[in-house]
Amino acid sequence: MRVFGLLGLVLALVIVGLIAKKQLTTAAAPLPSVPGVAAPAPGGAPVDVRTQSQQVQQQVKDALDAAAQARKMPDEN
């Protein structure tokens, strides 16, 4: 029984190690662009992270405001 427990533990560690290795190698890859945010023009200055973050935050805020407006109901007394 101890052999099966030890083999299971080693197998779990191998799987976790492979997943961690895969995650670390994909972290070096460039991040995909955010949908709805315009990509920089070729040859132009790249959009910095702060500007892109502010654009995404504004889009989320606008979407939430629009959803809240659509859900407004008359006051019931």
Q: Which domain holds residue 65?
A: 2-29+47-71
Q: How far is CA 5 from CA 10, 19, 58, 70, in A?
A: 9, 21, 52, 57
Domain count, the chain: 1
CA pair distance 26, 31, nearest whole angstrom: 9
For the entire predicted model, the pTM comes to 0.35
pLDDT tens track for 24-67: 887 655 555 656 656 655 555 566 888 889 999 999 999 998 88
Contact 37, 55 (CB under 8 A): yes
Whether 41 maps to a domain, the answer reads no
Whether 40 maps to a domain, the answer reads no
Whether 76 maps to a domain, the answer reads no
Q: How many other C-beta atoms are found inside a 10 Å radius of the C-beta of residue 43?
A: 5
